[in-house]
Structure formats: structure tokens, C-alpha cells
Chain A
Amino acid sequence: MKKLLILSIISILFLSSFAGCSKSSSSTNGKDVVELKFFHRWPNQPKKQYFEKAVKEFEKAHPNIKIKTEAVLNDSYKEKIRVVLGSSTPPDVFFSWSGEFAYNFARQGQSLDLTNYVNEDKAWSDQIIASQFNAFTLDSKIYGIPWSTDGKAFFYNKKIFKDLNLEVPTTWSQLIDVSKKIKAAGLTPITFGSKAPWTISHYIGTLNQLMVPQDVLDKDYDPKNPEGDFSHPGYVKALEKFMELKPYFNKGVNSVDHEYSRELFNSGKAAIGFFQLAEIGLIEPSLKENLGVFNVPGVEGGKGNPNSITAAPEGIMISSKTKHPKEAMEFVKFLTSKEKGIEQLKEVSEYSAVKGTTTEANASKLQQDAINLILNAEQTYLWFDTAVDIKIVDAYLNGTQLMLDGKKSPEEVMKDVRAAAKEVKASANK
């Protein structure tokens, strides 16, 4: 018995000995030092280093502020940000995707209303592309500051197009035509991977924009508007247009992910792909001058706006529980300044949401064209999976996967979507 006691005492001592050294507190130096917790989603290089550097620069300019950075990646970020925001010690400044992801935090009162800060300092906020604020605006209040922006367009392999004597398609039927010819030449016309179904949502969002009038979309996408019931025939047509591409996708799209599909394009086995503009930085090194970009071709008879693009920012939010909103805002302004925006593209290949940051000095010709696609579009749309309630997204994505698998028709998918929309809107108006 004694031995047991001794053993347990020893083990407790052993344990507590290194509990002591793991708690290194650093808050005691200086008197009025404000410590901010900053939580972002890039523990990987080069962004990790970029933020470390930015934090150091900021601390140097603001000796009274100390910033404690933490970063975890993607899925883990989605888990952890939810858990910590619900706790009593949330980070003061944190990253957020746009649309519903951010709105959810705002609805629960977890993120600070930044409208006044944006209006107060026009010299800073006017530099940011105005449309990009939409993605963080809920009930005319701004809850997040756009940090980066990105859009979606078709990428194509110029060499394949030249070899096969093909023109860049400007209408949907031309796209189908071109695909037919590429397929006849023994190549994969369009590369696609829908294992992670967010790739589907990008097609659907874009096609909805082309097929359904703006006012209908607004009504249907609004989670509170009970009139928006997704009954416009354009929705079914949009899915049918999407299915027209199926014969030209690579085999078994449901079993491959986006990365695999990009590698097919990278290696020249596929001629066209639907990618994010930020991916130019990942493809240009292998395809070089053979990489071309074109906006989604308009669909004949579509009721939507052909001069539109899916383009949305990622941004920074501030916790409503922060004790130092001013200092936190100071840091956010620093990260979204023009100066930082220019560095950002060069160092971490993210387009800044600040105007005039993508120039010859820091970007390739193609990257400048890409950002112009966003700037010149009459209308920008959020990523579909963040534009509508997650339940509607789910119905869409699951349905489309089954449609690709030959298990569902476009009408059947829309039936599920309508049912989901009804549920969402009923519970929002309870």
C-alpha cells in the first residue's frame, strides 16, 4: 500500500514538474501593454511567415500592443473557431470566410459591428474594393473587413486549343462544341473533381447567376424571405446545363478531389478546368505561357446577368467580447492597408481586396487580367456555398453528386432544394 502511495506521489510530482514549465506568461513586461489574440488559418508557409512578419512590424509601430498569434488549418479552423468563440476567452481578431460563415457569427452576437470604424476612416476604407464589403454586411451592418479576394473562371490550355485549332468559347454551346472536339482528339475536355462537393457549388452558383434573374435570386437566397421558394424554371435549366458538361468531364468525378483534377490540367491531360483565380499561382509554373483564362460563357436564353462573376473575399473579424476594440481595429487596418496588400500578392499569392494592389510590379500579366475580371464585372456573387443557408447548400450538393452518379434528375434535385428552402425559411420566421 505504501508503495502505491509513493508511486502516485512520484508520478504527481513528475507531472507537475513540467506543467510548471509549459506555462510561460509574458504579460507582465511593461505597464499598459495591451495583449491581443489573433487567430488565423494558415500555419503553413509562406503565410505563417508573412503574418509573423506583419505582427512584428505592427508591434514595432505600436509598442503598447502585443499580439499573440495562433493558427490552425481549414477543417480544424472551422472546428476551433466555433469552439473558442463560444468560450469565455475568444480571440480578439480572427479570420473568417465570407457570407453565411461570417453571418452566423454576427447573428449570434459573437462579432463586433465595425460599421462606425469603416465610416470614420474613409481614407483607409475607401481603398478597399467596395463590392467586397457586401460579403460581410448583414442588415446593413459591416462585421468584417475584406482581406483577400478571389474569383472563379475557366482556365484553358492554350497549346491544346492551338493544336486542335479551337477558339475560346464565348457562349455555352461553343463550350460544348469545343469540348466535343477535344474529346474526339482523345484528351479530357474538362477536368473536375466533386468528391469534396464545394466544387459543385461553384458551378451551380455561377450557372444560377446566368439562368435566373437577379431579383429572383435575391429573394430565394435570402434566408428570411418566405416568398423565395426556388421555383423559377431557370434553376432546373441551370442544373441541366451543368449536366451537359458531364460527358466531357474526366471519369468518376465523384471519387476524385479538386486537387487531382487540377493535376490533370497541370500535366496537360485535360484542356479546360474551372478554377479559382488564386490558383493561377499554382498552375502558371507548370503551364507557363500556355495558361489562359476566360470568364464563364453566357448561356443562350439565360435570364441572368452574363457580365457577372463569382468573386468573394476572405476577411478579418473582431470578437464582440474583446476588451480592446480600438487596438484590434488598428491591427485590422494595418493588415488591410494598401502597403500590406501589395506585399501580400507577391509573398503569399493572395489577391488583396485593396484597389490598385495588383500591378505589373508584383503580378504576372495573367494575374492582372484575372483581377480585372473581378473589377470589371457588373455584378459579383458570393461563393454559392456561403451565399445561401447551409441546409439549402446541402440539398444542392448531395443532389448534384447523385445526379452525376445517374441517381437523380435535375427536377428531383430541385424538389429537395425547395423542401430544404421551405424548412429554412419557416424556421427563420418562427
Chain B
Amino acid sequence: MDYQHSIPISSKFKKQKNVVKGLPIFTILIVYFVVIAYPLFWMVINSFKSTPEIFSSSWALPKEWLFSNYTEAWNTGISGYFVNSLIVTATTCFITVLISALGAYSLSRFEFKGKNILLVFCMGGMMLSPQVSLVPLYKLIQLLGIHDTYFAMIFPYVAYRIPITILLIRAAFLEVPKELEESAFLDGCNTWTIFTKIFVPLNKPILLTAVVLTAYYTWNEFMFALIFVDSDALKTIPAGLMQFRDALQTNWGVLMAGLMISALPIILLFMFMQKYFIRGLSSGSVKG
């Protein structure tokens, strides 16, 4: 990049220079924005089409806007499963982030025997292919007597999300200055209060990121959901939406409308969480 060698000469030129400097950056951003946004736009407009129209004129605007796709998806695929998804996702997020934060606290702020081995142990879940664990997990779930309950989904989800979550939180915890902790110690805090009073509030962004990432995984997962749960009454949204995908006949318009609706809560969660990213132009730090 050519602005690499530029040296600030005087503040008079600074503004002008900023605009010039910004140009390549903005070009990159806008090109990438189009690459991402245009397909997303395609998804939205195609969710209003009938299946034949998706296939025959997939890049055009719908001839007729089929809002009925949305009502159909809601009525047959989503409304009944919404509460299940909510319960499973909320519980999974809560347990995962809580115990991962505790685990990360242990792995990042203590010196103890076997720490590195435990760190590797915690990474294990990222290395196992879930497809091959279906048979042992099914046996285990029957053994625990949680087959066909919410726990048949929640427990495996938690276990499979712990590795990433614990690593993320640990990475953030490691960056917390040691001095903060030491002075808190002198003030009479114990390890638990240091965790709740210093580490958790200081690392809200990463904890919320962990929540979002766990939520999006749980919200979209369907392999475990379909195999470990039998009752229709317990199924989650993606498992419910699968009913629009047949081998010979998929109602793509409705399926896409359903997937749009189901993505919405996660998008909202993300936007809500963004609040914790935003920092003013001048303010120094988000911490505190």
C-alpha cells in the first residue's frame, strides 16, 4: 500500500490526507460489502418467490411477492418449535458460558500442576467429528435416561461448545493486567470475588461474544436434535424446518422464509450485543 511511507508533515494537510488515505480502505470495504450483502439480498428476495420462480428467474425481483411463504413457514415449521429452541438455546448459552468462564479463569490466572494438559484436554471437543460420535452419544444418552428430553440436546451442545468458549474467554482473561488482581487481593478480595467483581465485568464483550456464538450454533444445530429427540413436542426450529426439504420436492420459498425468520432472533441478539462494542471516537477504553 502506497501510504506506507507517508510522514505527517503538518496538521494543515492532515484532513486532506485522511480523505486520500481513506480511499483505498473504503474501496476495499465497499467491494467486500457488496460481495457479502448482494447474496444476502438475494436470499431475502427469493424467500418471497415460489419454487419454480426461484429456479427460473433466480436473480430477478419476484413477479409477485409471496408473503404467504412467511405465514406458511411460521404456521407449519416454526411457531410450535420456537419455545423449544428458546429454552434449549438459553439454557445451553447459560451453562456453557458460565462454566467456561470458570474454567477459563482457572486456566488463565492460576499456576497449578497439569495446567497445560488440562488446556489440551479442553481443546479435545474441537477435534472430534460429531458425525462419528452419534452412536456412542446415543448409547450414553439412553444410559443417562435423558433420551427424548431437552437435556439430550443441551448436554452435548454444552460439551461441544466448551472448547471454543473456554479458549475465547481464556484469551481475554489473559490480557487482564495482573496489577488489578493484585491490588484487589490486598483489598481483601478472594478468588471468587475477583472473578465476579473484576474478570466478569471487565470482559463483558468477550462473554457476550461467547453467548452469541453459542447461541447461533445451538439455534442452527439439527443433527443431534433430530437423532436424540423423538417427540415432535420437543423439536427445535431447524429440526422443524427440515420438513420442507424432501428428496424430490423441496418448497424452497417457504424453507427460505422459515430460515429468514429463524435467523432473526440471532441477528437481533448480535445487534443488541454490538452495543458493547461501540465506543466513541475519543473515549479511550470500553473497559469498566
Contact = CB atoms under 8 A, between A and B. Distances in A.
A and B in contact, CB less than 8 Å: yes
B246 A263 contact: no
A47 to B, nearest CB: 9
Interface in B93-138: 94-95, 98, 134-135, 138
B219 interface: no
Nearest to B248: A279
A19 B248 contact: no
A48 B235 CA distance: 15
A3 B248 contact: no
Contacts of A43: 232, 242-243
Contacts of B91: 15
B188 to A, nearest CB: 15
Contacts of B248: 258-259, 276, 278-279, 282
A162 to B, nearest CB: 22
Interface in A242-267: 258-260, 263-264, 266-267
B94 A11 contact: yes
A86 B243 contact: no
Contact of B52 (A73, A80, A286): A286
A11 B239 CA distance: 27
B56 A263 contact: yes
B76 interface: yes
Interface string B248-283: 111000000000000000000000000000000000
A50 to B, nearest CB: 14
A240 interface: no
A29 interface: no
Interface in A48-80: 48, 70, 72-74, 76, 79-80
Contact of A266 (B52, B226, B231, B234): B52
Interface string B49-63: 001100110000000
Contacts of A269: 56
A74 B227 contact: no
A269 B244 CA distance: 26
A76 B52 contact: no
A86 B135 contact: yes
Contacts of A19: 146, 149-151
> Which interface class (under 10, 10 to 19, 20 to 34, 35 or more) fits B?
35 or more
B234 A83 contact: no
> Which interface class (under 10, 10 to 19, 20 to 34, 35 or more) fits A?
35 or more
A87 B139 contact: yes
B79 interface: no
Given A70-B230, A74-B246, A263-B56, A18 B150 contact: yes
B142 A79 contact: no
Given A3-B196, A11-B95, A18-B150, A76 B226 contact: yes
B135 A44 contact: no
Given A22-B149, A87-B138, A267 B95 contact: no
A288 interface: no
A45 B242 contact: no
A83 B227 contact: yes
Contacts of B171: none
A70 B249 CA distance: 21
30 contacts: A1-B192, A3-B192, A3-B196, A7-B98, A11-B98, A15-B151, A18-B87, A22-B150, A22-B234, A24-B233, A43-B232, A43-B243, A44-B244, A45-B76, A70-B230, A72-B239, A79-B223, A79-B227, A80-B226, A83-B135, A83-B138, A84-B138, A86-B135, A87-B142, A260-B55, A263-B51, A263-B55, A266-B52, A267-B55, A282-B249
The 10 closest A-B pairs by CB, nearest first: A263-B55, A44-B243, A43-B243, A76-B226, A22-B149, A70-B230, A267-B56, A80-B227, A72-B226, A83-B138
